[in-house]
Amino acid sequence: MRQSAGQRLRSAVEAERPLQVAGAINAYAAMMAEQVGFRALYVSGAGVANASFGLPDLGITSLNDCVEDVRRLSSVTELPILVDADTGFGSAFQIARTVQQMERAGAAGIHIEDQVAAKRCGHRPNKAIVSQAEMTDRIRAAADARADSQFVIMARTDALAVEGIDRAIERARACVEAGADMIFPEAVTRLEDYKAFAEAVQVPVLANITEFGLTPLFTTEQLASAGVGLALYPLSAFRAMSAAALLVYKAIREEGTQQSVIDRMQTRSELYAFLHYLDYEQRLDRLFGIEKGVD
């Protein structure tokens, strides 16, 4: 019997510690990540806002915006997809709808955070969080709404930067009691803090290894030593793609040709290989009775 998406994510967490989760901003990025061996993918809220809509990560995009990006990924890969659901996109009934829509779109799980609705990037100052009671209500609403009991509900807490390590751990434990399967402590700066979370909650803990933020770029070996279960790289490829695209745009504009940057580009044959283009073309030829070498 085929495993559900949630089961595939849970199995991946058991098979690889920490499980490296690759952020993919579109379907083609997902295909490349799968090709190089990643076992799980991630749809970032910031990625949806930045890449799909040209907006900052400030809670501006909607559930439907996010779900559409999830559908695009799940249509091209069987890898389990963890999705950033921000604050759940509303109160209890809307959180339930978020879970239901994400399951139908092919997601393996979501994380919901404890920031207020007018949220900020987790690595920026002046974050504000809701009460512990309100956060646990969010988790209960999400856990109660899933049709597949294996669909992963992950609780993200930004309390470390706001209230300190002890209160953040207390909040994380309360989320587990409310039904969270995994914990995502945001903006952690020390390995010993990850270890403290892992020992306290006794469920898989995710480390957000995002560039240019507050968390050092810990290696998987370091994270494993601290008991971390998942290592997330939410926008690494997107940042590299953006830098390369800007370089190419500038070269074409300034030099009147792309000749100086052609070596920075993926070739047509490499693109075709990822997309299995020639297989599609051969099917088209068979469909219309086109013989090779015949005009």
Report the candidate in 242, 210, 216, 220 with the shortest Cα–Cα distance to residue 29.
242
- Answer whether 180's CB lies under 8 Å from 144's CB: no
Residues 6+ apart with CB under 8 A from 145: 95, 96, 97, 98, 99, 100
Q: Is 65 a catalytic residue?
A: no
The secondary structure of residue 48, as a DSSP letter, is I
Please pick, among 8, 34, 57, 140, the residue that the annotation labels catalytic.
57
Q: Is 42 a catalytic residue?
A: yes
Report the candidate in 236, 209, 215 with the shortest Cα–Cα distance to residue 32.
236
User: Is 26 annotated as ligand-binding?
Assistant: no
Work out the angle at residue 211's Cα, subtended by the Cα atoms of residues 50 and 206, and round it to the nearest 5 degrees. 95
CA distances, 220 to each of 64, 101, 202, 229, 252 (Å)? 34, 32, 19, 10, 39
User: Is 164 annotated as ligand-binding?
Assistant: no
User: Is 84 annotated as ligand-binding?
Assistant: yes
Q: Is 193 a catalytic residue?
A: no
Please pick, among 8, 34, 186, 233, the residue that the annotation labels catalytic.
186
Q: Is 111 a catalytic residue?
A: yes
Please pick, among 69, 103, 113, 181, the residue that the annotation labels catalytic.
113
User: Is 283 annotated as ligand-binding?
Assistant: no
User: Is 220 annotated as ligand-binding?
Assistant: no
Q: Is 86 a catalytic residue?
A: yes
Please pick, among 111, 138, 140, 146, the residue that the annotation labels catalytic.
111
Q: Is 123 a catalytic residue?
A: no
Q: Is 276 a catalytic residue?
A: no
Q: Is 280 a catalytic residue?
A: no
Q: Is 181 a catalytic residue?
A: no
Please pick, among 69, 86, 114, 181, the residue that the annotation labels catalytic.
86
Active site residues: 42, 57, 84, 86, 111, 113, 121, 156, 186, 208
Q: Report the binding-site residues for Mg(2+).
A: 84, 86
